[in-house]
Structure 1
Amino acid sequence: MHSVEPVPLPHDCPSDVSLWRIDFAFDASLEDAAFAALSDDEHARAGKFLRHEDALRFASVRVALREQLAWHLGIAAHAVRFKLDANRRPHLADSNTLDFNVSHAGSHGLIAMSSKRRVGVDIEHRGESFDWHSITTLTLDASEAAWIDHLDIEAQRAAFYDAWVAKEALVKTTGVGIARGLQHLTVLPRDSAEVTLRNVIPDDMREITARWIAAPEAYAACVAWSTKTFTR
């Protein structure tokens, strides 16, 4: 069965933000009792994946998310209900006390949560078999692509994935920027763990902060949060 572990966050991360890593067990079955908390709709969604690994990733992250939310809400995991907002970003159907975001890739998933602000998270696997060059125009600003071209091959790969996870975490925090694509943000070159938005900063990103975080070997990850807290 999958395991769930807390992930230490940078010291300057707000104390209300928490992060959890899920390590997948691909020999599990969707019929296992561990997945009993999933709704009928979630079971159906898992069943539509063509590959068993993809179904396990979705189901494992959703069960772990339900368990974390249920603990905070004081209810059973199967009782947690979700809705989609106007940007199709999931949120709790019966409460506005928690925000969350999830991501998964390869053998790992991440869950970010906060009781005070919006959060976003992304993890990507730097797989040797994936041609990251094929999506540079969808991911990088022209200045970033030009900067990467001057690096050696391994540094290019690392820089590309740093940019990818940072931009995904940023836009997932609001949900608004997704429609415009990732290339409207500029985060390279990287000079610290803090993500610095360069060039023009879009209005919806002016109150968002992000940090690259430690990830398993061959992975890149980033967490983002709103500096503005919820209005109750």
Structure 2
Amino acid sequence: MSTDWGACHFVMPMSLALQFIRITEASSALARLASRLSADEHFRLGALHKGEDRARFAVVRATLRDVLGRELGVPPDRVAFEADAQGRPRLAGGGPPDFNVSHSGHWGLLAYSSDVRVGVDIERLDALAEPRSSWDVCLHAEEQRALLMLSFTLSGHGPRADEIFHWVWSLKEAIFKALGTGLQDSLTALSVDVDAVARAVSAVEGKFDAAMPSATAGCPIPWRADDPALAEALRGLELRLLPAPPGYSAALAWLQQGKIG
């Protein structure tokens, strides 16, 4: 097991951009949003029965197309996607920018960059009613011990341990979405500094501004991996816990493109 936390730096790649997406359930906007989607996306939209699911899919996909269309200098409906060998979405042909999206409840989160591999996650803080039941399958033993200690020390003082769990989960989701190699079975071999997460949550509380999202406003979070192959795959990984909408957690991860096979 590694005894040192991974290095954290405050310098964010210049090309990395973030955007929070406010998702509404206004059915009147669906036709306008759907005009930007591909035939495959129209099919996926039609398969969704709940209005909130349709709105969420349409808003996030249309926003992604708008952003990438501006970057590529093409209309949104001309942006073409494909999946890489591991099933991770990318631009057709595999060129930049790299991108990643996440959505939960009434919010979505988008990141893109021309020179690093990105992963993002946003979660409702009440996504799991009983987070403790999931500890063994998604948390490192060290994370479990730290959360158990926080459940006592934070009682009545700051975020609850259940909320910290969701922030930790967002960070780990962002990591594996950036990696994109289907290594979710390695969740328990990867550990983030839970005490640093708890401090960061208090630091970013009340600082969310959807109009001016910035990774530099987030807090670097140390990490380490027990498995040597996973540690090598994640070498140079950078993590940020982001200011999030009230009731949500949000996280960003990035890797140098050259480290991805």
TM range (shorter): 0.7 to 0.9
**2:254 & 2:30 partners in 1: Cα distance?**
35
Whether the 8 Å contact between 1:195 and 1:211 is mirrored in structure 2 is: yes
User: Whose RCO is larger (CA < 8 A, sep 6+)?
Assistant: 2
Rounded to whole Å, the distance in 2 between the matches of 1:173 and 1:11 is 19
Match of 1:148 in 2: 147
Distance 2:69 2:111 in 1: 15
C-alpha RMSD of matched pairs (Å): 2.3
Query: Does the CA-based 8 Å contact 1:186-1:199 persist in structure 2?
Result: yes
What whole-Å deviation, never above 9, does each CA across 1:99-136 have from its counterpart, x for those lacking one? Answer: 00000011100010001111111111102773322322
Paired residues of 1:118 and 1:229 also in contact (CA < 8 A): no
Task: Look up the equivalent residue of 1:78 and give its one-letter code.
Answer: D
User: Equivalent of 1:214, from 236, 243, 257?
Assistant: 243
Bigger Cα displacement from structure 2, 222-231 vs 71-80? 222-231
Cα distance in 2 between the residues matched to 1:230 and 1:116: 12
The question of whether the paired residues in 2 share the 8 Å contact of 1:117 and 1:230 is answered with no
Amino acid at match of 1:149: L
Provide the residue aligned with 2:204 in structure 1.
none
Farther-moved stretch of structure 1 (121-130 vs 56-65): 121-130
Q: Would the aligned equivalents of 2:189 and 2:225 in 1 still touch at CA under 8 Å? A: no
SS at match of 2:27: coil
Maintained 8 Å contact 2:105/2:124: yes
Taking structure 1 as the reference length, what is the TM-score of the superposition?
0.87
Q: Counterparts of 2:128 and 2:134 in 1: how far apart (Å)? A: 14
Pair 1:126-2:138 in alignment: no
C-alpha distance 140-90 of structure 1, shift in aligned 2 (>3 A): same
Residue 186 (structure 1) aligns with = 191
Tell me, in whole angstroms, the C-alpha distance in 1 between the residues paired with 2:15 and 2:134.
35
8 Å Cα contact 2:38-2:77 kept in structure 1: yes
| Residues 71 and 230 (structure 1), Cα distance of their counterparts in 2 relative to 1, 3 Å cut | farther
Structure 1 residue aligned with 2:176:
171
When residues 165 and 129 of structure 1 are mapped into structure 2, their CA distance, relative to the original with a 3 A threshold, is closer
2:253 maps to: 224
1:55 partner SS:
helix
2:68 maps to a residue whose letter is L
**Amino acid across the alignment from 2:116:** R
CA contact (8 A) 1:172 1:178 kept: no
The alpha carbon displacement at 1:137 in A equals 2.3
| Aligned twin of 2:164 | 159
Q: Percent of aligned positions with the same letter in both sequences?
A: 34
Return closer, same or farther for 1:230/1:151 CA change in 2, 3 Å cut-off: closer
**Cα distance between partner residues in 1 of 2:127 and 2:73:** 43
> Does 18-27 or 29-38 show the bigger shift?
29-38
State the SS of the aligned residue for 2:194: coil
Structure 2 equivalent of residue 85 of structure 1: 84
For the 8 Å contact 1:207–1:228, the answer to whether it is kept is no
Does residue 197 of structure 1 match 2:209?
no
| Structure 2 alignment gaps of length 5 or more | 1-8, 201-218
Summarize the alignment of residues 99-138 of structure 1 with structure 2, pairs less than 5 Å apart: 99-127=98-126, 130-138=129-137
Partner Cα distance (1:176, 1:111) in 2 = 20
In 2, Cα distance between equivalents of 1:222 and 1:94: 28
Q: Which moved more, 1:31-40 or 1:57-66?
A: 31-40
**For residues 78 and 26 of structure 1, what CA distance do their matches in structure 2 show?**
22
Deviating above 3 A after TM superposition, structure 1's stretches of 4 or more consecutive aligned residues are 227-231
User: What code does the residue aligned with 2:62 have?
Assistant: V
| TM-score normalised by length of structure 2 | 0.78
Conservation of the 8 A alpha-carbon contact between 2:146 and 2:195: no
2:162 partner SS: helix
What's the offset of the Cα at 1:198? 2.9
C-alpha contact 1:169 1:222 (8 A) present in aligned 2: yes
Distance (Å, rounded) in 1 between the aligned partners of 2:18 and 2:109: 7
* Separation of aligned partners in 2, 1:45 and 1:178: 26
